[in-house]
Chains A and B, each alone.
Chain A
Amino acid sequence: MKAVLKTTILMLILLLASSLAVFAAIRLSGGDVTAARLPASASAADRDLFRRQMGLDQPILRQYITYLGDLLRGDLGNSLTNNASISDLAVQKIKNSAILGGMSLLLVFGVGVPLGMVASLKRNSFLDTGITSFSVAGMAVPNFWLALISIHIFATTLGWLPSAGQGGFKYLILPSVVLAAEGIALTVRMTRSAMIENLNQDFVRTLRAAGLSERRIYFKHVLRNSLLPIISLAGLRIGQIVGYALVVETIFGWPGVGQVLVNGVLRRDYPVVQFFSLLLVFVVTMGNLAASIGYTLANPRLRK
Chain B
Amino acid sequence: MLGIFGPMLFGDYASQNLSNGHKPIGTDGAFFGTDGLGRNLAARATFGIRISLLVAIAVTALAVVIGTLIGLIAGYVRGPVDNVISLIIDFIWGFPLILVAVLAAASIGSGLLPVILAVALVNTVAIARVVRGEVLGISEKEFVIAAQAGGYSTIRILTRHVAPNVIPVALVLSSYYIAVAIIAEAALSFVGMGAQPPLPSLGQMVSEGRNYMRLNHWESTIPGVIIFFMVLSVSLIGDGLRDLLDPRLRTELDRESPQ
Contact with A along B221-236 (1 / 0, CB 8 A): 1001001110110010
Contact of A156 with B by CB under 8 A: yes
Contact B187 A193 (CB under 8 A): no
User: Would you give 24 A-B contacts (Cβ < 8 Å), ordered by A?
Assistant: A14-B88, A26-B107, A29-B107, A29-B109, A31-B109, A140-B231, A141-B231, A142-B187, A142-B227, A144-B187, A156-B213, A196-B257, A197-B255, A200-B257, A236-B94, A242-B96, A242-B99, A243-B97, A243-B98, A244-B96, A244-B98, A261-B102, A284-B94, A288-B93
Further contacts, 11 of them, CB under 8 A, given A25-B104, A142-B190, A292-B90: A25-B106, A137-B228, A139-B179, A142-B187, A142-B224, A144-B191, A144-B203, A148-B220, A200-B257, A262-B193, A281-B99
Q: Does A277 contact B (CB under 8 A)?
A: yes
Tell me which of A140, A141, A152, A186 contacts B253 (CB under 8 A).
A186
Of residues A22, A139, A140, A196, which shows the largest number of chain B Cβ atoms within 10 Å of its Cβ?
A: A140
**Cα distance A120–B140 in the bound complex, in angstroms:** 35
A149 contacts across to B, CB distance below 8 A: 221, 224
Chain A residues 27 to 65 lying within 8 A of chain B, measured CB to CB, are 28-31
Q: Give the Cβ gap from A204 to chain B, nearest Cβ, in Å.
A: 12
From A140, A144, A200, A235, contact of B206 by CB (8 A)? A144
A196 to B103, alpha carbons, bound, how many Å?
40
Q: What's the minimum C-beta distance from B251 to chain A, rounded to whole angstroms?
A: 10
Which residue in chain B gives the minimum CB-CB distance to A280?
Answer: B99
Question: Which A residues touch B232, using CB under 8 A?
Answer: 136-137, 140
Q: Does A194 contact B (CB under 8 A)?
A: yes
Bound-complex Cα distance A29 to B257 (A): 49
With A and B bound together, what is the CA distance between A151 and B90 in angstroms? 37
Q: Which of B63-109 contact A (CB under 8 A)?
A: 87-88, 90-91, 93-99, 102-109
- Is A285 located at the chain interface by the 8 A CB criterion? yes
**Interface: B168 (CB within 8 A):** no
Does residue B183 face the partner (Cβ distance < 8 Å to A)? yes
List A residues at the B interface (Cβ < 8 Å).
7, 10-11, 14-15, 18, 22, 25-26, 28-31, 136-137, 139-145, 148-149, 151-152, 156, 186, 189-190, 193-194, 196-197, 200, 235-236, 239-240, 242-244, 246-247, 250, 261-262, 264-266, 273, 277, 280-281, 284-285, 287-288, 291-292
Q: In the bound complex, do residue A246 and residue B98 qualify as a contact, i.e. CB atoms below 8 Å apart? A: yes
**Which one of B95, B106, B107, B179 contacts A140 once the chains associate, using CB atoms below 8 Å?**
B179
B residues touching A (Cβ–Cβ < 8 Å)? 87-88, 90-91, 93-99, 102-110, 179, 183, 186-187, 190-193, 203, 206-207, 210, 213-214, 217, 220-221, 224, 227-229, 231-232, 235, 252-257
Q: A250 near B235 (CB under 8 angstroms)?
A: no
**Chain B contact residues: helix, strand, loop or mixed:** helix
A288 touches B257 (CB 8 A): no
Name the contact of B103 in the complex, choosing from A145, A244, A277 (C-beta under 8 A). Answer: A277
A101–B87 Cα gap in the complex (Å)? Answer: 28
CB <8 Å contact, A18 and B91: yes
Q: How far is the CA of A30 from the CA of B95 in the complex (A)?
A: 25
How far is B106's CA from A200's CA once the two chains are assembled, in angstroms?
49
**Minimum distance in angstroms from A125 CB to a CB of chain B:** 14
Least distance between B243 CB and chain A CB atoms (Å): 15
> Which A-B residue pairs are the 10 nearest by beta carbons?
A243-B96, A25-B107, A145-B224, A140-B231, A288-B94, A243-B98, A140-B232, A197-B257, A193-B255, A14-B91
Q: Please judge, given known A-B contacts A247-B190, A250-B191, whether A284 and B99 are in contact too, CB under 8 Å.
A: yes
Chain A residues with CB below 8 A from B187, complex form: 142-144, 244, 247
A242 to B100 CA separation, bound complex (whole angstroms): 11
Is the beta-carbon distance between A145 and B206 smaller than 8 angstroms? yes
* Nearest chain A CB to B73 CB, angstrom units: 20
Residues of chain B with a CB closer than 8 A to A186's CB: 253
A262 B253 Cβ-Cβ under 8 A: no
Question: For the complex, what is the distance from the CA of A15 to the CA of B103, rounded to whole Å?
Answer: 15
With contact pairs A14-B88, A139-B235 given, residues A152 and B217 touching in the complex (Cβ less than 8 Å): yes
Alpha-carbon distance A277/B255, docked complex (angstroms): 34
Q: Distance (Å) between the CB of B128 and the closest chain A CB?
A: 16
Q: Smallest CB–CB gap between A168 and chain B, Å?
A: 24
What are the residues of chain A within 8 A of B99 when measuring CB–CB? 239, 242-243, 246, 280-281, 284
**What's the least CB distance linking A56 to chain B, in Å?**
15
Q: What residues of chain A lie closer than 8 Å to B252, measured between beta carbons?
A: 190
